[in-house]
């Protein structure tokens, strides 16, 4: 989902994981409305997100045995942009 938030976190045992948050239906409506009208959200407006899923996050880099490069792709305005991610 385009308006979701992905956040890297650490639990109380020191294990790293990634949390995926999706906006609630009301928040999604607010976001779509502001995009269409070009208005900005007020400071009093609240956007609520719900935790959709957690993913285990183990970091691997070029120094790790068996490392394979990964790429991040983003598509905007009919063009593709990418960056090589040196960690996995």
What share of the chain has pLDDT > 70, as a percent? 90
Number of domains in the chain: 2
Judge if 17 and 35 occupy the same domain: yes
Q: What angle do CA 87, 49, 10 make, to 5 degrees?
A: 40
Judge if 72 and 53 occupy the same domain: no
Judge if 52 and 66 occupy the same domain: no
Least confident of 13-22, 30-39, 42-51, 62-71: 62-71
What Å distances lie between residue 56 and 2, 19, 88, CA to CA? 21, 9, 11
Judge if 52 and 71 occupy the same domain: no
* pTM (2 d.p.): 0.55
Range of the domain at 22: 1-57
The pLDDT of residue 48: 95
């Amino acid at each position: 989902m385009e308006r979701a938030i992905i956040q890297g976190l650490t639990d109380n045992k020191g294990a790293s994981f990634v949390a995926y948050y999706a906006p609630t239906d009301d928040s999604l409506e607010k976001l779509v409305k502001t995009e269409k009208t070009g208005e900005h959200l007020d400071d009093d407006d609240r956007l609520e997100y719900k935790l959709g899923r957690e993913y285990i996050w183990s970091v691997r880099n070029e120094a790790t045995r068996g490392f394979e490069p990964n790429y991040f792709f983003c598509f905007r305005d009919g063009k593709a942009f990418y960056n090589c991610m040196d960690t996995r």
